[in-house]
């Protein structure tokens, strides 16, 4: 299984893009590094350029521990809010900075907030390819308020630019797909249920995802003190279940073998890369666009 972490600072990436990056992301990521070390797992750290700029030492520590440093863009701006040239610049700036600091080639990308739409595929893939990236892990298989694509789509454009797409793991609930393996879904679901649901996953291909702030149980109080009352939608979708995350991480790391995208697919002796299928639904039943639902809340 792949363990992936989107390295960002909550008050900058979610609360307000104009907030400065704080030390919380540094300290929380160090805690995750310790956890991974305890269980001898490797992970992919999709890191924001602004975090690397503020904490270059953190990038060095991630790379020195043998993990993969990949890009999550520079300022956590949604792809659909940027022009094609801005996307190229944002991806390029983050990749260059991460490579300069880590001393290693960056080959992977995850779009902020999984902000990919089908109409963006062409110039999104072009931006990744031009910056020397080999894979992407941004396709979120359920439509929620902020992000996700549920309809069937073609990955022909990804193939054209030789970008491998490693979309997030999901389970079937009737005709819908639930990306249960990470983020808010992991926080709110009892671990025994999460573990039971993983039985249906292709374990080699499965992708777990989380953010460093999800283990930060003191953040809400600190944010209230610093920024005033935090809107209810954020308190519900972003802070709920944080108390349980560290305990669950011990269990998930004990139960499964985790590695990085790089070690799994792109290093010598790694398993073969799954080819991009023509749609996001593999061999499963067709879901038409008019059957889509928008979830009532959006976790990330």
Mark 100-119 with x for binding to Zn ion (rule: CB under 5 A) and - for no binding: ------------x-------
Least Å distance, CB 58 to Zn ion, is: 16
Closer of 124 and 287 to Zn ion (Cβ): 124
Beta bridge partners of 187: none
Q: What is the closest distance, in whole angstroms, from the C-beta atom of residue 46 to Zn ion in the complex?
A: 8
* Region from 4-12, 17-25, 196-204, 276-284 binding Zn ion, contact rule CB under 5 A: 4-12
Q: How many chain residues bind Zn ion (CB under 5 A)?
A: 3
Cβ proximity to Zn ion, 114 vs 265, nearer residue: 114
Contacts 24+ apart (CB under 8 A), 217-223: 217/242, 217/243, 219/10, 219/24, 222/24, 223/10, 223/11, 223/15
Residue nearest to Zn ion (CB): 6
Q: Which is nearer to Zn ion, 127 or 287 (CB)?
A: 127
- Least distance (Å) from Zn ion to the CB of residue 113? 6
Residue 45 or 287 having the CB closest to Zn ion? 45
Q: How far is CA 244 from the centre of its chain?
A: 20
Between 49 and 112, whose beta carbon lies closer to Zn ion? Answer: 112
Partner residues linked to 69 by β-bridges? 45
Residue 219 binding Zn ion, by CB under 5 A: no
Q: Where do we find the tokens 């919380």? A: 24
Residues in the chain: 300
The closest alpha carbon to 300, from 31, 46, 27, 42, belongs to 46
Which tokens is 28 given?
């929380």
Q: Which of 130, 129, 201 is nearest to 165 (CA)?
A: 129
| Range list of H helices, 65-197 | 84-102, 121-130, 156-160, 183-188, 191-197
Task: Restricting to residues 145-174, name those near Zn ion by CB under 5 A.
Answer: none
6 belongs to the binding site for Zn ion (CB under 5 A) = yes
If the CB atoms of residues 13 and 259 are measured against Zn ion, the closer one turns out to be: 13
Shortest reach from residue 284's CB to Zn ion, in Å:
27
CA gap 24, 6 in Å, rounded: 14
Which part of the chain contacts Zn ion (CB under 5 A), choosing from 3-11, 96-104, 160-168, 265-273? 3-11
Residues in touch with Zn ion (CB under 5 A)? 6, 8, 112
């Amino acid at each position: 299984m792949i363990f992936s972490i989107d390295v960002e600072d909550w008050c900058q990436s979610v609360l307000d893009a104009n907030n400065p990056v704080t030390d919380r992301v540094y300290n929380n990521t160090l805690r995750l590094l310790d956890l991974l070390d305890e269980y001898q797992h490797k992970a992919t750290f999709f890191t924001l350029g602004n975090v690397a700029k503020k904490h270059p030492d953190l990038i060095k520590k991630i790379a020195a521990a043998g993990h993969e440093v990949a890009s999550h863009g520079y300022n956590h701006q949604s792809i659909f809010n940027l022009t094609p040239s801005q996307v190229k610049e944002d991806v390029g700036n983050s990749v260059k900075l991460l490579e300069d600091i880590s001393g290693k080639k960056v080959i992977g990308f995850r779009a902020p907030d999984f902000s990919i739409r089908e109409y963006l595929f062409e110039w999104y893939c072009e931006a990744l390819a031009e910056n020397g990236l080999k894979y992407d892990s941004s396709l979120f298989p359920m439509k929620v308020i902020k992000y996700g694509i549920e309809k069937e789509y073609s990955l022909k454009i990804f193939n054209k630019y030789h970008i491998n797409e490693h979309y997030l793991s999901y389970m079937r609930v009737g005709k819908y797909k639930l990306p249960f393996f990470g983020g808010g879904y992991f926080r709110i679901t009892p671990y025994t249920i999460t573990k039971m649901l993983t039985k249906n996953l292709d374990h080699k291909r499965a992708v777990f995802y989380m953010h460093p702030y999800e283990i930060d149980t003191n953040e809400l109080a600190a944010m209230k003190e610093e920024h005033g009352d935090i809107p209810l939608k954020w308190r519900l979708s972003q802070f709920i279940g944080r108390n349980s995350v560290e305990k669950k991480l011990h269990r998930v790391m004990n139960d499964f073998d985790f590695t990085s995208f790089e070690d799994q697919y792109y290093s010598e002796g790694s398993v073969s890369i799954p080819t991009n299928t023509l749609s996001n639904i593999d061999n499963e039943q067709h879901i038409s666009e008019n059957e889509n639902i928008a979830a009532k809340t959006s976790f990330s």
